[in-house]
Structure 1
Amino acid sequence: MELRHLRYFLAVAETRNFTRAAARCFVAQSALSQQIARLEKDVGSELFSRTSRSVRLTAAGDLLVPLARRILADVDHAQEELDALGGLRRGRLRLGLVQTLAGPLDMVEVMAEYHARHPGIDYHIVNATSTDMAAAVASGGLDLAVVGLRPQQLPEGLDHRVLGSDPLVVIVPADHGLADREEVDLAELPTTHQLIQFARGSGLRRQVEEAFARAGVEPGRNFEVAQVHSMIRLAARGVGVTVVPRSSVQGPNALLGSGTGLPHGARMLALADSAAVHRISVVYDSKRLSSAAAAFLEVVDHHLRPDQSV
């Protein structure tokens, strides 16, 4: 079994198409097909079920996908460590970032300082749900990920550092019946009002659903949006109400404007539930942490207040 065979296999598994996989790998389709056949002979099982219309993974193929990803990630990691022997002059950092970065930690400043210290390191930034990014760290697809998951929600074997947390707040339109309140309980929100929710699988979505469960009420009708700044703007326009981290509308991580206020037509209400907080952590696998990733954690620690780095 050769490493290139695993790379070809993953290309087919991800595209479900031999032609597109060959183009991704910069080889002729006939050559790729031959190498896949050789891999199947080596493992003693068919990895794909092929028809004239589709390519599907067999049970053996499903089993090999995470193993192949892990093997290739370990090889890449070894190469990066060898490159770093003479100092962290080159390499790659694969970093996952959530949209909502809680608390005073300014991730843009962290990345800028990291680049200033290590200009030879190439960034590869991924934005996805917290669940998907944590899984990518566990499989070796990412070196680090900043996610909105609680420790018990992380894949087994991952380490984490809490970067910050801040309260969840409710954003309502200015003409909402509760708009003149400073603090509300989620049970007070009319069930007839539409709740503008973040994507499924995100840490924020889980935290909001947990807050509603503690209040003993159902969220009601959902309006799912993939961008937090769109959720805030839609609430301002009267489409519904939304629950977001306070730092997404105030402070250095605010998603709209200068961070000094809400969009026109919106009101921010505090939640009476003190447990309704948005906690952000950086997750990693300490057993296979690259030099580039370890250096990034050092910069993160430099930006954290002493009482935050836990």
Structure 2
Amino acid sequence: MELRHLRYFVAVAEQGGFTRAAARCLVAQSALSQQIARLEKEVGAPLFSRRGRSVRLTAAGELLLPRARRILADVDHAQAALDALGGLRHGRLRLGLVQTTVPDFDMVEVMAGYHARYPGIHFHVTNAASHEMAEAVLAGELDLAVVGLGPRQVPEGLRHRLLGSDPLVAVVPRDHPLADREVIGLAELPDDQPLIQFLQGSGLRRQVETAYGRAGVEAGRHFEMGRISDMIRLAAYGVGVTVVPRASLGAGPPGDARVLRLDDPEARHYQYAVYDEDRLAPAATAFLDLLPERTEP
């Protein structure tokens, strides 16, 4: 079983077809198909169920996929360790980053400082839901990820470092019945008004729903957006209300919105750096050394 066979297999599984996988691997589709056929012959079972141009994993394929990803991740980790023998002069850092920010921590500044020290290390940055990036670290597909998970939401098996936290605030339109208040409880928000939520599975979404749970009410699911700035603007236009980290407002909300503090001191957005200590590549270790470490809540 050759590594290229596994890389082709993973590419087909992730791309959902041979054409896109061949483009990703920069090989001819016929060559890729031949190598997959050789791999299937070697394992003694079909790995894909072919339906026209699309493919689905068979039971054997489902069994092989996580193991193939792990093998390839271990090979990449070994290569990174060998690169480190040259003093981190070349290599890559696979980094996961959330969209949200926290006060007193500037990721761009950290990345710029890292690049100044190690110009030969190239960033490969992924933006996805926090739980997906944490799982990617567990699978060895990312070296390190900065996620918006709470202190008890980090998956077992990962080490974590608190980078910062930020209070959650409610953003309501100017003519909202509660707009003149400074502090509110989430239970006071009318349940017939849409709640504009961040993506399902994101750390922020989980923290907002947890805060609603502490208030004894259920968070609405009328709107789901992929950009926090759009959530804030929709609230300003009167489409609904939203709950976001205070730092995401920047200099302040749009003119037609009001920001209300929450009476729940635990309603905060956390950011953690998560990593697998046993498989931390030297380039990731050097990056971790530049990150702040705050006191755990």
- TM bucket by the smaller chain? over 0.9
Deviation at 1:118, TM superposition (A): 1.1
Q: Which of 256, 260, 275 lines up with 1:269 in the alignment? A: 260
CA–CA distance in structure 2, aligned partners of residues 48 and 154 of structure 1: 33
Aligned match of 2:277: 286
Does the CA-based 8 Å contact 2:138-2:158 persist in structure 1? yes
Question: Aligned with 1:281: secondary structure?
Answer: strand
Alignment of 1:164-179 (within 5 A): 164-179=164-179
Please state if 1:295 is matched with 2:286: yes
Aligned match of 1:255: none
Aligned match of 1:252: none
Deviation at 1:62, TM superposition (A): 0.9
Does the CA-based 8 Å contact 2:151-2:270 persist in structure 1? no
Please state if 1:132 is matched with 2:129: no
Please state if 1:237 is matched with 2:237: yes
Alignment of 1:1-310 (within 5 A): 1-249=1-249, 259-301=250-292, 304=293, 307-308=294-295
Deviation at 1:184, TM superposition (A): 0.1
Deviation at 1:209, TM superposition (A): 0.7
Does the CA-based 8 Å contact 1:163-1:309 persist in structure 2? no
Deviation at 1:188, TM superposition (A): 0.6
Gaps of 5+ in 2: none
Deviations 1:172-228 (A, max 9, x none): 111111111110001110111111100000010011111111111122352111000
CA–CA distance in structure 2, aligned partners of residues 205 and 53 of structure 1: 36
Question: Aligned with 2:123: secondary structure?
Answer: strand
Deviation at 1:155, TM superposition (A): 2.8
Gaps of 5+ in 1: 250-258
CA–CA distance in structure 2, aligned partners of residues 24 and 100 of structure 1: 30
Deviation at 1:53, TM superposition (A): 5.0
Does the CA-based 8 Å contact 2:197-2:221 persist in structure 1? no
CA–CA distance in structure 2, aligned partners of residues 191 and 143 of structure 1: 42
Q: Are the structure 2 counterparts of residues 272 and 151 from structure 1 closer, same or farther at C-alpha, using a change threshold of 3 Å? A: closer
Does the CA-based 8 Å contact 2:94-2:144 persist in structure 1? yes
Deviation at 1:151, TM superposition (A): 4.3
Question: Aligned with 1:86: secondary structure?
Answer: coil
Deviations 1:262-289 (A, max 9, x none): 2211111110011111111000111111
CA–CA distance in structure 2, aligned partners of residues 243 and 32 of structure 1: 48
Deviations 1:28-47 (A, max 9, x none): 32222221121112222211
Does the CA-based 8 Å contact 1:134-1:147 persist in structure 2? yes
Question: Aligned with 1:191: secondary structure?
Answer: coil
- The count of aligned residue pairs is 297
Deviation at 1:65, TM superposition (A): 1.1
Does the CA-based 8 Å contact 2:173-2:179 persist in structure 1? yes
Q: Quick one: percent identity of the two aligned structures?
A: 68
Deviations 1:112-156 (A, max 9, x none): 111111111101111110011111111111111111113443333
Question: Aligned with 1:300: secondary structure?
Answer: coil
